[in-house]
Structure 1
Amino acid sequence: MTPVGVDDLADRVLGGWLGRIAGNMLGKPVERGDYWTRDRIDRYLRQADALPLTDYLPEPVRPSGRSDESDEFVLRPEWRRCVRGRIHGSCRDDDVDYAILGLHLLETHGFGFSTEQVGDLWLLRLPYLQTFTAERAAYRNLANGLKPPLTATYDNPYQEWIGALIRADVYGWTSPGMPRRAASLARRDAVLSHTGNGVYGAMWAAALVAAAFTAPTVRDALDTALTVIPASSRLARTVRRVMTLHETGLGWEDTLDTVAEETAGLGWIHTIPNAAVLTAGLLYGEGDFTRSIALTVRGGLDTDSNGATAGSVAGVLGGATAIPPQWTVPLEDTVHSAVFGFDGVRISELAERTVRLAAGADLPAGAVTS
């Protein structure tokens, strides 16, 4: 394993935080996969003369005789704080809230935290109405006195949706070059609310982020991440399918068309089709930050979650210094968060706190060097 120097570690962790927030912001205005299909997203971008996509989404164009809220292109209500020229710090979003909550968990309980402690921290720090799908079901179960693993299985039809995957990055950031350790931490968190491929998605994402610290290419990181989940799982088979199509030279759009047919019926928030979109965005982005998050968001489905994870992986691969300023300057080093006690915190502070955890963790000899 290639050692990660302290300065390099700091740059890559900051890249992960900035990338996650920027990717989330890019995808947020079009987060509704049943409406914002790949075709609709690209039609919106063409109308705004914003292809290739190299910056945050543009404001809605107002064709003659039509309003910006026309039936053809209805952005999420938060769009006014998430489009280019209007961004002043990050929008609040659960994709970032859970990264903050995970950081607080590790600072509070250390790397030996229990699943029960994850739940306790949700109840203490996270507003119920800022949770969704599987997390809301688990939160309700916690409030009613249930304990894990019942919190994940009782009256919860969302057990394999993407929620646990979006909570996984912090375990990768604090386990640089140690994908199995990252996956183990992510699993302990994920089983509070998810089962099956929902848990595997979190393990895979955490391992992918951890591997990005030392992998020479994004393909190497993806190969490594697959080793932490069952090879026969549908998640592993779908990720491998995308990788194989990419290897054959098939184009990005044709790859997504093929996999969309094979995952039809799972829904736009399910882990499996979103992992396919994310994998394709990273592979065809070839390690370039802008191209990686742009392709991932243009891939549709859960755009803000996929953009966030793609940004995290690409940000770790290249470091903060490789992220173009159009993505970072509008963030003004500021996070808006629903996590109690963290609203308005500096992104740089979150990254510094993450580095302290990573550098102080029980790393293998030579994993972090001065």
Structure 2
Amino acid sequence: MTPVGTDAEFADRVLGGWLGRIAGNMLGKPVEQGEVWTRERIDGYLRRAGALPLTDYLPEPPTEEDRARLRPEWRTCVRGRVHGSCRDDDVDYAVLGLDLLETHGFGFSTEQVGDLWLLRLPYLQTFTAERVAYRNLASGLKPPLTATYDNPYQEWIGALIRADVYGWTSPGDPSRAASLARRDAVLSHTGNGVYGAMWAAATVSAAFTAPTVRHAVDAALAVVPAGCRLARTVRRVVSLHDAGLAWQDTLTTMERETAGLGWIHTVPNAAVLTAGLLYGDGDFTRTVALTVRGGLDTDSNGATAGSVAGVLTGATGIPAHWKDPLEDTVRSAVFGFDGARISELAERTVRLAAEV
């Protein structure tokens, strides 16, 4: 494991990852419906509310039409109404990943991931590929059939959102983080769905030691197959950023080049996430704001971007208006964890990392 500073510094950065994931998730939650909340519509909402540039949680809906289009969770996710985290699968899987590593250690098997889902996770709190895999598990199928049988969502974003804990517990070791994430991901995903999880875990891991977010993105690219569409898409965003294109123009280009894949597919979301990370350039607020304004699966992308940015800055570097309303409390559908303290989850994560 690559040294990441003092114990206190490492603990602060793990806490930053947890806080960033939760805050980014809540920022994107009200507009999590990509076919409705396009990039243009999100910015229109913010413009009507006088909230551009975006620097805080979403404002109250400025019109009745906006109110009707938001997800119902908006009432506990917009600025002034946040009191602890909302329950969401993007946070549930981080909690479940922590429980997995505490229960089975880093030698866990894909079958043990499935067993823990059945034990800890309510079926109706799973979606798309995870719900199919859950049903397949309950029907007696074993991996990898759980991912491939009657599953049209194999390359969607679900595995990517489960990956952060493997990065938090593999600081400075992107290859190890990717390997752990792959073992989890193949329960429900194939192809780019798996590669997205590997890339996300590796990016979080690399953020502990990389001098810049660009270095973290490059390090993560080194541990996924170079020819897969996920890697080619990330490299394309990097090249557009390096060429000096504006953030909006980069996303317009990527929308055209990933057209037809759908708003929950891993590949177009990886483009939005990469753009948010690169153009955010290590600034927590700018990173999560640009990522969510990019549209598609806004809460998932906001969560992962927040995790990476939170690791880069540490909890002390996250502005108070993002973390204080969370009240150190996480809501979760994972049995035994609802109401857990975010600080306690981070402390447990640090203890796991020390076991390596």
Is 1:54–1:291's contact at 8 Å kept on the other side of the alignment? yes
**2:120 matched to which residue of 1?**
125
Report the alpha carbon displacement of residue 61 of structure 1 after superposing the two structures with TM.
1.3
TM-score normalised according to structure 2 size = 0.99
**1:314 matched to which residue of 2?**
309
Report the alpha carbon displacement of residue 5 of structure 1 after superposing the two structures with TM.
2.0
**1:101 matched to which residue of 2?**
96
Are positions 1:29 and 2:30 aligned together? yes
Q: 2:263 aligns with which of 268, 293, 296?
A: 268
Q: How many residues align?
A: 355
Query: How far apart in 1 are the matches of 2:354 and 2:255?
Result: 41
Is 2:45–2:66's contact at 8 Å kept on the other side of the alignment? no
Query: How far apart in 1 are the matches of 2:206 and 2:5?
Result: 11
Report the alpha carbon displacement of residue 257 of structure 1 after superposing the two structures with TM.
0.2
Match runs of 1:179-194 below 5 Å: 179-194=174-189
Are positions 1:229 and 2:230 aligned together? no
Match runs of 1:296-311 below 5 Å: 296-311=291-306
Report the alpha carbon displacement of residue 106 of structure 1 after superposing the two structures with TM.
0.1
Q: 2:346 aligns with which of 318, 329, 351?
A: 351
Is 1:203–1:229's contact at 8 Å kept on the other side of the alignment? yes
TM-score normalised according to structure 1 size = 0.95
Report the alpha carbon displacement of residue 2 of structure 1 after superposing the two structures with TM.
4.9
**2:163 matched to which residue of 1?**
168
Report the alpha carbon displacement of residue 266 of structure 1 after superposing the two structures with TM.
0.1
Query: How far apart in 2 are the matches of 1:3 and 1:18?
Result: 19
**1:62-118, Cα deviation, whole Å (9 max, x unpaired):** 3xxxxx2x2786100010000000011000000000000000000000000000000
Query: How far apart in 2 are the matches of 1:216 and 1:22?
Result: 24
Is 1:56–1:83's contact at 8 Å kept on the other side of the alignment? yes
Is 1:168–1:202's contact at 8 Å kept on the other side of the alignment? yes
Match runs of 1:1-370 below 5 Å: 1-62=2-63, 68=64, 70=65, 74-361=69-356
Identical amino acids, percent of aligned pairs: 82
Distance 1:61 1:182, change over 3 A: same
Is 2:160–2:196's contact at 8 Å kept on the other side of the alignment? yes
Report the alpha carbon displacement of residue 4 of structure 1 after superposing the two structures with TM.
3.0
Query: How far apart in 2 are the matches of 1:206 and 1:354?
Result: 14
Is 1:44–1:73's contact at 8 Å kept on the other side of the alignment? no
Unaligned runs of 5+ in 2: none
Is 1:160–1:196's contact at 8 Å kept on the other side of the alignment? yes
Report the alpha carbon displacement of residue 134 of structure 1 after superposing the two structures with TM.
0.1
Query: How far apart in 1 are the matches of 2:56 and 2:4?
Result: 33
SS of the equivalent of 1:4 reads coil
Is 1:336–1:343's contact at 8 Å kept on the other side of the alignment? yes
Is 1:59–1:84's contact at 8 Å kept on the other side of the alignment? yes
Is 1:4–1:213's contact at 8 Å kept on the other side of the alignment? no
Report the alpha carbon displacement of residue 359 of structure 1 after superposing the two structures with TM.
1.4
SS of the equivalent of 1:117 reads helix
Query: How far apart in 2 are the matches of 1:13 and 1:2?
Result: 14
Query: How far apart in 2 are the matches of 1:149 and 1:17?
Result: 30
Unaligned runs of 5+ in 1: 63-67, 362-370
Query: How far apart in 1 are the matches of 2:83 and 2:67?
Result: 27
Query: How far apart in 1 are the matches of 2:265 and 2:293?
Result: 17
Letter in 2 for 1:6: D
Query: How far apart in 2 are the matches of 1:11 and 1:2?
Result: 15
**1:225-254, Cα deviation, whole Å (9 max, x unpaired):** 001111000000000000000000000000
Report the alpha carbon displacement of residue 307 of structure 1 after superposing the two structures with TM.
0.1
Letter in 2 for 1:51: L
Alpha-carbon RMSD? 0.9
Query: How far apart in 2 are the matches of 1:71 and 1:166?
Result: 27
Report the alpha carbon displacement of residue 3 of structure 1 after superposing the two structures with TM.
3.8
Query: How far apart in 1 are the matches of 2:106 and 2:157?
Result: 23
Letter in 2 for 1:85: G
Is 1:207–1:224's contact at 8 Å kept on the other side of the alignment? yes
SS of the equivalent of 1:80 reads helix
Query: How far apart in 1 are the matches of 2:244 and 2:35?
Result: 29
